[in-house]
């Protein structure tokens, strides 16, 4: 990392004044600042409620069907409209003084200090609200601050912008209109996203997601670097096509074998409003899983933007219908391409995902089985196996000595040892008690949600004999059985287990078949549809 006193890669013409322009979120900070600010404004309970209300807006923004400005305006309107300006300004000043310092990237701060020590003019140009960006920037010695301004009327925030969102071309327009005179100046610009493209393009030196290399020199890159790489590799495109077509063909065969007429009648028994509500419930579960995935990468020290990470996460769903969901490892490729994340690190997160998924499913099953006297020994046995697995993964040195070191002696396998060792160490870090417990809790909520969806389907189909906890148990057990068959998407195994357990708990054959097919459409094929859309939208040429 470069130090504050390091010289730039090339000497600056001392006859020319120097202006250093910094973006804020993701450049000076390690992550977005708006959501922590809004959390501080309304508190945890209201934040969660507002986030649920804004779920459609956030999803549209993540998928690229809603522009940055309108999306941000809706978010700010939900949180701030009608609130007194004095009250929010006090929160903003507190946030700037107490919270923003914990969000800063030390390397970015060193580069800022270097410019200030050289007597260069420093300017902050950000899409974040000036409400909190300005007090922080002024305290840090910036000469100019340009951000998105919020509208107020009669001492209250309206929830609207009083200036256009300071993003993309608006950054350069506002800089030229409100900033220092750049004629004859040497301009440095620092940014991290597509919204900084124009800003970096107008500078004499634009630095994209970089401040220096290990030699202390500045590293200059174009703003288009991560966005304009090649599209999805042809091998992944073929895998995507084979996964979707093959899985859909198997499922169509199962549906026809079960009786298409029965399925159609069952669909008619469930109202469109109920199906829409169940889709939202399942979608909420996907977002909880994304939260866990994003948390895993953060815990491993990867500062991937949540938007890039969500794109990769959702796009990987296109390959969900593969044995053991192994195709979802494609998100390691997506993240390496878009954000430079080490694939071994992503695969460690994926392994931790799968491990905690299995643990969560087994935990849900165990709760159901524990009420049965004969089930308690099964629960204890399963628990013992899982605890042994955790203990082994908590001792990566044992695996390294017993497996990796002997394998490293083979020249053909030597190149795989280092990434596997990295993945093993990272996986061990993600399975430490605190992180493991959080992963299990976050992993369990979506499975319970899908079980609740199955119970609602049973209820709509008239299967009143099946209680809520039994429906959750049926879905969890069928999911686990489908996974261990290692068939694409668990097809066949999941359905057989689900129908059999449904019959055991009192459903008719028609109710069992229809509920099973519908829950798979709502979970497996809904996910494949989302993933296919995101893959085509973001990663193919």
Residue 10 backbone dihedrals phi, psi, to 5 degrees: -125, 145
Residue 145 is given by DSSP the state: E
User: Which has the closest alpha carbon to 311: 64, 527, 528?
Assistant: 64
Per-residue pLDDT band for 217 (boundaries 50, 70, 90) equals very low
Closest alpha carbon to 297 in 393, 395, 445, 435: 435
> Which has more pLDDT, 383 or 470?
470
Query: Of 206-210, 248-252, 319-323, where does the model show the most confidence?
Result: 206-210
Of 105, 113, 94, 137, which Cα lies nearest the Cα of 6?
Answer: 113
Q: Kindly report, residue by residue over 140-169, the tens digit of the pLDDT.
A: 999 999 999 999 999 999 989 999 999 989
Cα(266)–Cα(259) distance, rounded to whole angstroms? 11
Task: Report how far residue 330's alpha carbon sits from residue 313's, in angstroms, rounded to the nearest whole number.
Answer: 9
φ/ψ region of 490 (left if φ > 0, alpha if ψ in -120 to 50, else beta) reads: left
Tokens of 179: 């900033």
The interaxial angle of helices 234-258 and 260-269, nearest 10 deg, is 90
Q: Please state at what angle helix 468-485 crosses helix 433-461, rounded to 10 degrees.
A: 110
Q: Work out the average pLDDT over 457-461.
A: 90
Helix axes 130-139 and 85-98, enclosed angle (nearest 10)? 40
d(CA 279, CA 272): 10
Token duo for residue 236: 């992944």
Average pLDDT along the chain? 78
User: Is the CB of residue 20 less than 8 Å from the CB of residue 125?
Assistant: no
β-pair partners for 145: 124
Supply the angle between the helices 468-485 and 343-369 in degrees, to the nearest 10: 140
How far apart are the C-alpha atoms of 213 and 1, rounded to whole Å?
A: 6
Mean pLDDT to the nearest integer, 215-236 = 42
Q: How many helices (H) and strands (E) does the chain have?
A: 25, 7
**pLDDT at residue 222, as a whole number:** 42
Identify the band that residue 410 occupies on the pLDDT scale cut at 50, 70 and 90: low
Higher pLDDT, 453 or 541: 453
pLDDT at position 399, please? 57
pLDDT in tens, 59-94: 666 556 678 788 889 999 999 999 999 999 999 999
Quick one: tokens of 488? 């694409």
- Measured CA to CA, the distance from residue 308 to residue 287 in angstroms comes to 14
| Span 301-351, pLDDT tens digits | 777 888 888 888 988 887 777 666 666 777 887 887 777 787 777 888 888
CA distances, 215 to each of 8, 205, 225, 319 (Å): 11, 19, 22, 41
pLDDT at 163: 92
């Amino acid at each position: 990392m470069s130090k504050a006193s390091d010289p730039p890669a090339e000497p600056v013409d001392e006859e020319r004044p120097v202006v250093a322009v910094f973006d804020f979120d993701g450049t000076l900070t390690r992550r977005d600042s708006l959501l922590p600010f809004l959390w501080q404004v309304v508190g945890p309970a209201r934040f969660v409620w507002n986030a649920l209300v804004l779920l459609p807006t956030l999803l549209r923004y993540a998928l690229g069907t809603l522009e940055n400005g309108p999306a941000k305006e809706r978010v700010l309107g939900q949180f701030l409209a009608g609130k007194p300006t004095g009250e929010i300004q006090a929160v903003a000043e507190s946030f700037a003084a107490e919270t923003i310092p914990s969000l800063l990237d030390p390397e970015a701060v060193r580069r800022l200090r270097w410019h200030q020590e050289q007597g260069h003019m420093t300017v902050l140009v950000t899409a974040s609200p000036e409400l909190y960006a300005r007090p922080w920037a002024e305290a840090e010695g910036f000469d100019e601050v340009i951000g998105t301004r919020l509208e107020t009327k009669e001492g209250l925030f309206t929830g609207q912008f009083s200036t256009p969102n300071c993003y993309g071309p608006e950054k350069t327009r506002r800089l030229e209109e409100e900033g220092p005179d750049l004629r004859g100046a040497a301009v440095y610009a620092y940014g991290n996203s597509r919204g900084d493209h124009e800003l970096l393009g107008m500078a004499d030196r634009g630095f994209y997601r970089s401040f220096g290399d290990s030699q202390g020199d500045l590293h200059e890159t174009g703003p288009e670097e991560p966005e304009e790489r090649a599209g999805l590799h042809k091998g992944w495109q073929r895998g995507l096509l084979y996964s979707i077509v093959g899985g859909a063909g198997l499922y169509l065969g199962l549906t026809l074998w079960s009786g298409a007429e029965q399925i159609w009648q069952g669909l008619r028994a469930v109202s469109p409003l109920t199906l829409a509500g169940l889709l939202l419930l399942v979608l909420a579960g996907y977002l909880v899983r994304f939260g866990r995935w994003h948390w895993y990468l953060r815990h491993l020290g990867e500062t991937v933007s949540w938007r890039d990470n969500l794109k990769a996460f959702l796009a990987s769903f296109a390959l969900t219908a593969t044995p053991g969901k192994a195709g979802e490892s494609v998100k390691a490729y997506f993240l390496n391409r878009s954000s430079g994340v080490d694939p071994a690190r992503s695969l460690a997160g994926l392994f931790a995902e799968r491990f905690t998924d299995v643990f969560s499913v087994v935990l849900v099953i165990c709760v159901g089985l524990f009420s049965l006297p004969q089930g308690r020994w099964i629960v204890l046995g399963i628990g013992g196996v899982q605890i042994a697995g955790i203990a082994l993964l908590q001792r990566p040195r044992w695996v390294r000595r017993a497996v990796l070191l002997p394998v490293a002696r083979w020249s053909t396998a030597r190149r795989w040892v280092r990434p596997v060792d990295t993945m093993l160490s990272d996986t061990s870090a993600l399975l430490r008690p605190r992180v493991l417990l959080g992963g299990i809790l976050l992993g369990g909520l979506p499975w319970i949600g899908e079980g609740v969806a199955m119970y609602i389907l049973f209820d709509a189909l008239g299967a009143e004999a099946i209680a809520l906890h039994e429906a959750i148990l049926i879905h969890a057990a069928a999911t686990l059985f489908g996974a261990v068959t290692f068939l694409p998407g668990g097809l066949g195994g999941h359905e057989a287990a689900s129908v059999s357990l449904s019959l055991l708990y009192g459903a008719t054959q028609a109710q069992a078949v229809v509920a099973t097919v519908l829950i798979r459409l709502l979970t497996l094929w809904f996910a494949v549809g989302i993933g296919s859309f995101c893959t085509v939208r973001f990663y193919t040429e």
